Structure 1
Amino acid sequence: MAWDSYSGSVLAIDGESIVRLIPPAEGGLDAECAWTARGGEEAASTAAAAPAAAAPAAVGEADVTTVQMEGWGAASTILGVAHLPPGNAWGPEECLTFHTRTAVYRLPLSATASGGGATPQLLAGQESERGAARVDGSGADARFHHLSSAGLQVNADGRLLLLDLDSTADVTRLRLVAPGGTVSTVTGVELAGRWVDLVILPNGYLAAREIAQVQSDGDLDEDEMAEPYWESKRVAVIATSFTPLALVATAAAAGPPPRSLPADLGALVEDAQQPGGGGAVADLVIRVGERRFHCHRAILSARCDYFKHRLAGDAFEDARAAELELPDADPDTFALLLRWLYTGGADILPKQARGVAELADRLLLPELCARALDVLFASVDAGSIVDSLLWAAGCCEAHGGGGAFDQLLLRLKRWYVERAAEVRAAARDSLRALMTQQPDLMLELMEASEQRAVKRARTK
């Protein structure tokens, strides 16, 4: 399903069609009025019934209409749909985007609003190329292997997010379709198994649900075969930095956001870096390399144990100093860390993750360190996994084992073992470095990969 905030209706999939559920004229989607669908069994089944114990005072019926699509083949099952309001990144007019197993389309709604039908426009992929190898590219040159059900989301910048199952490798990958139709594969986002129901969470992370086909164990006659069914296995949350389009639309409709403590403190630290150091409010300078950061003692002491101890009145001479030096640190990394101290949040790019994790660990900020390590892990691919293993192993040795770096190393080992053949093909030079610098780790990975191969052979 998809929510059309422009008209206040719900869009649902009915096989090869898209239907629109229009709420009753009276009450609409008021909190005190529920509504159900009318327009046939198939359409009615798309509306969720409220529990009897929580039944509202009034229940209305929604009108159900089928979105008219000229020239749409009945054999093309629609698996996901999203609504784009007027003035979106794909054009000035209101439209729908939807996808089948192997293709993504755009449907302008100007004609359908007047009772006519519009022709779906192919954005990417090919309808006849089911099971094709994954290919990044533009428009019809791109290929999807098997797009998942309910796997379409729209980022605030207009990019479409889709889950694409590679049934040969049994891996689901995240694909992006940019305005204009260019398709790319997100590096480092690979989920073993079949995943559906992609969602962009309000904090920018992604969530998805894994399903698996299960054979019934019920008692059957010899001539009967149990019908297999799909069962949910688990839910994954992936550390990314997307922004749901619906969140942006809601914020725009609501006007300027209310003031918040993180926003005000973020403005405070930004103002402190302007010429003059934020006036008399900033009372401390942290010198990192050639850069000087104007800060506030009270905030640094309250938010960071490292500075709390260093600025303690009886502990160090630093407590009375107007300027402190932070040696062996990168200024850009410290700037990001400083924003985290003031606001509790920061956008960490994959290329920044190692430096942020190391500095956060040094300054006794375990939450920021863990966030940076999550970003690093999410960005891993076959070409970078070995270098990440070497770095994580070195950090573990420096810390004597345990902690967040040890947990990261364990996750990286599992990632490597699941894709050993792919890594050997993509990172032979890095593997040679691993053999030289971490021979015990290399031996452990080889043994684990062999054991996994034996187990998989037994199950076939």
Structure 2
Amino acid sequence: MSDGAGNLYSCDLTRIRRIQLPAAWRAAAGCDAAEGGAAGAAQPARAAAAVSTLPYVAPDCISGMVFLPPATAQQEPSGGEGGQQASSGAGCLVVGTSTALYRLQLPMSEAAAAGGAHLQTQLLAGCEGDRDITDGPGDQARFSSFVGMTSDAAGNIYLADEFRDDFDDDGPCVHVRRVSPAGVVTTLVTDLPRHHWWSPAILPNGYLALGSSRTRLLQGRLLLIDLGLAPVLQQPRPTADDAPASAPGRSLPADLGALLDAQPDGTADLTIRVGERRFHVHRAILSARCDYFKQRLAGGAFEDARAAELDLPDADPDAFALLLRWLYTGGAGIPPDQARGVAELADRLLLPELCAAAQGVVAASVTVGTVVDYLLWAWGCCESRGLCGFGELLAQLKESYVSHHEEVRREAGPSRQRLGQEAPALNVELFDAVVDQQDRQSRKR
């Protein structure tokens, strides 16, 4: 987190670390032109950031922190400890411990810190250690448990507060709550899906974004809520008057990608037919980058070595287009809905790195509603190709299914029936694993 003046702040359990960037770095970035000196002025050959620990110890582990600039940090909290004035020319930090929010006034001189002085702190809202969901001003409000905070242009703080009922097995109730600069807490949203939503952020379009979750199966979920918020937007940095934009640097992946995009331009010496589509390619690139094509195009080994057009039967054209871009450039953005097709084709064409990358996309996109379909697909791949290519992914999917079997049972009903019909041995294995997990959990109790 940055204060816009060359200082970065990070949480370390109950302490706050400050990273002060060298003036030369800030001048080069255009954020402190005065300190940068005149154009062409000599700069130190090597500059280093200064790392220090702020003279403050939070009463509990810090679960969120935001910086409020001076224009949004003027209002006095409506309740709580301390009586110092909130206004400051340097703004303030607001630190949260999951049950309370505190305001830390900035700046603090190096001499004061060296003398053992502490940052001025003030309770903004909540009560340390008292967990509940209660709206109200200052110390009358209560928080239950949250991770991460964000702020808007007016200095309002937003967080996802999680409340769990010990007698409710459907997961925690999550409330989106707003804390005004004066410390007044208001609940805005109460009907979120029951997952561990956390780490809020305000997008440029005014939406509040929440990430989820703490479990592997729910990784990658993003919830967007249209609250019409005003984000804190970074001001554009001034540039040199009428400075011409420099041309982007050339790179081999970019040039080869441009070569692929230009086809057919007369340079290709081979056409590959996949379904109804034809791809114009270069033999030398395919032979150098893919063992499958190296063997198929080797002189004297196959008639394909002299053919002007090759067939690639039983392949998906869209998956092959992504594979071809990976061969030319060394990278390709794999959409989740095409990841399984790319993984199968990459395995078939002897490209283990691309196969692994596509399987990673599959693993990251699995949900309780799709885990059974993914399991059956991975199981089929292992049955037809062996465990060496898809065994690790299958093990991950099995673990996800077992760990979240109650959620899968509620949300993936029809697809679960396919397990018994299409893969009875897998169905029995998963059932046994669920029973074993339940036995372990009951013994722990």
TM-score (norm 2): 0.61
Give, as a single letter, the amino acid of the residue that structure 1 aligns with 2:156: P
Aligned to 1:9: 7
Matching of residue 133 in structure 1 with residue 173 in structure 2: yes
Note the C-alpha offset of 1:3.
3.7
Among candidates 428, 431, 439, match of residue 413 of structure 2:
428
Note the C-alpha offset of 1:101.
2.0
Give, as a single letter, the amino acid of the residue that structure 1 aligns with 2:368: A
CA deviations 1:111-142 (Å, max 9, x no partner) are xxxxxxx53265x75x6x75551479996456
What is the distance in 1 between the residues matched to 2:281 and 2:381?
A: 29
User: Is the contact between residue 21 and residue 49 of structure 2 (CA under 8 Å) also seen in structure 1?
Assistant: no
Q: Which secondary structure does the structure 1 equivalent of 2:250 belong to?
A: coil
Aligned to 2:55: 41
What is the distance in 2 between the residues matched to 1:402 and 1:171?
A: 22
Aligned to 1:240: none
Q: Say which one has the larger Rg.
A: 2
Structure 2: 5+ residue stretches without partners: 28-43, 58-67, 81-93, 99-142, 165-171, 178-186, 238-244
Among candidates 106, 109, 113, match of residue 151 of structure 2:
106
Aligned to 1:259: 250
* Structure with more of its chain in strand, by fraction: 1
Q: Return closer, same or farther for 1:106/1:72 CA change in 2, 3 Å cut-off.
A: farther
Aligned to 1:68: 73
Q: Which secondary structure does the structure 2 equivalent of 1:354 belong to?
A: helix
What is the distance in 2 between the residues matched to 1:387 and 1:458?
A: 32
Note the C-alpha offset of 1:376.
0.9
What is the distance in 2 between the residues matched to 1:447 and 1:182?
A: 49
Q: Return closer, same or farther for 1:352/1:407 CA change in 2, 3 Å cut-off.
A: same
Q: Which secondary structure does the structure 2 equivalent of 1:353 belong to?
A: helix
User: Equivalences for 1:12-27 in 2 at 5 Å?
Assistant: none
What is the distance in 2 between the residues matched to 1:292 and 1:157?
A: 41
Structure 1: 5+ residue stretches without partners: 44-63, 81-98, 109-117, 184-244
Q: Return closer, same or farther for 1:14/1:457 CA change in 2, 3 Å cut-off.
A: closer
Note the C-alpha offset of 1:297.
0.4
What is the distance in 2 between the residues matched to 1:367 and 1:392?
A: 17
Q: Return closer, same or farther for 1:135/1:345 CA change in 2, 3 Å cut-off.
A: farther
User: Is the contact between residue 271 and residue 278 of structure 1 (CA under 8 Å) also seen in structure 2?
Assistant: yes
Q: Return closer, same or farther for 1:179/1:70 CA change in 2, 3 Å cut-off.
A: farther
What is the distance in 1 between the residues matched to 2:197 and 2:400?
A: 23
Aligned to 1:300: 286
Give, as a single letter, the amino acid of the residue that structure 2 aligns with 1:414: E
Among candidates 277, 284, 296, match of residue 291 of structure 1:
277
Among candidates 337, 351, 356, match of residue 323 of structure 2:
337
Matching of residue 78 in structure 1 with residue 96 in structure 2: yes
Matching of residue 414 in structure 1 with residue 399 in structure 2: yes
Q: Which secondary structure does the structure 2 equivalent of 1:285 belong to?
A: strand
Matching of residue 278 in structure 1 with residue 276 in structure 2: no
User: Is the contact between residue 151 and residue 202 of structure 2 (CA under 8 Å) also seen in structure 1?
Assistant: no
Q: Return closer, same or farther for 1:444/1:179 CA change in 2, 3 Å cut-off.
A: closer
What is the distance in 2 between the residues matched to 1:389 and 1:315?
A: 39
Give, as a single letter, the amino acid of the residue that structure 2 aligns with 1:106: S
Note the C-alpha offset of 1:68.
2.1
What is the distance in 1 between the residues matched to 2:409 and 2:225?
A: 35
Q: Return closer, same or farther for 1:68/1:396 CA change in 2, 3 Å cut-off.
A: same
User: Is the contact between residue 18 and residue 51 of structure 2 (CA under 8 Å) also seen in structure 1?
Assistant: no
Give, as a single letter, the amino acid of the residue that structure 1 aligns with 2:334: I
User: Is the contact between residue 163 and residue 172 of structure 1 (CA under 8 Å) also seen in structure 2?
Assistant: no
Matching of residue 450 in structure 1 with residue 417 in structure 2: no
What is the distance in 2 between the residues matched to 1:356 and 1:368?
A: 8
Aligned to 2:311: 325
User: Is the contact between residue 420 and residue 449 of structure 1 (CA under 8 Å) also seen in structure 2?
Assistant: yes
What is the distance in 2 between the residues matched to 1:325 and 1:374?
A: 29
Q: Return closer, same or farther for 1:160/1:360 CA change in 2, 3 Å cut-off.
A: farther
User: Is the contact between residue 392 and residue 408 of structure 1 (CA under 8 Å) also seen in structure 2?
Assistant: yes
Matching of residue 316 in structure 1 with residue 316 in structure 2: no
What is the distance in 2 between the residues matched to 1:434 and 1:420?
A: 13
CA RMSD of aligned residues (A): 4.6
User: Is the contact between residue 347 and residue 389 of structure 2 (CA under 8 Å) also seen in structure 1?
Assistant: no
Note the C-alpha offset of 1:451.
0.5
Aligned to 2:155: 119
